[in-house]
Amino acid sequence: MADEWPKIRSRLTTKISPWVDVIAREVEFASGAEPQLYHSVGQQDYLAMLAVAPDGRIPLVRQYRPAVEAFTWELPAGLVDAGEDPAEGAGRELREETGYPARKIQSLGASFPCTGRFSNRIHSFFIETEERVPDFQPEPGVTVKLVTPDELLGLIKTGDFAQQQHLGTLMLAELRGLLKLPREPATLAWPAG
């Protein structure tokens, strides 16, 4: 093992806020090579939930995202609290954001949101919900909307649903046969040769 490369020669973590660390790593790629400095963002693990309400519609949330300075339509999502099981966190976040309690939670897997910049994981779930809790009020600035798979496809095509990690959650659900987005005839043609 001592002869395996690359090697982390040093690691310095700087806390920026309760939610974000910047991690500087010196990486040596071969014996005697000059170490290279790489930076990444450390955060709690993410959660993304594709939920289906009893009527078959999918709850989405719209909120202002300061990082992109725009409102976005997304799947319900959040962070895994310290010491929390990701599936329990998914149920908690879904209810907090949409008012829909989870009836059945199925893991779609964990993956990396961006291997070049982030050191955390995103846990994706497919959730069948119960009826919405009475008198639910979303957090200020958050809108909850139920959409059909057709309407979701429309939001994806217009770019109004453009969170890449959430598109990945939709793909994982499709691969497992849990979601079927409508298909249109292929319009792309591959170049000859």
pLDDT tens track of the chain, all 193 residues? Answer: 567 889 999 999 999 999 899 999 999 999 989 999 999 999 999 999 999 999 999 999 999 999 899 999 999 999 999 999 999 999 999 999 999 999 999 999 999 999 999 999 999 999 999 999 999 999 999 999 999 999 999 999 999 999 999 999 999 999 999 999 888 655 545 555 5
Q: What share of the chain is helix, strand, coil (3-state, %, to 5)?
A: 20, 35, 45
What's the predicted TM-score (pTM) here?
A: 0.88
Based on the structure, what is the number of domains in the chain? 2
Same domain flag for 36 and 52: no
Domain span including residue 20: 7-42
The token pair at 4 is 């395996």
Residue 183 lies in a domain: no
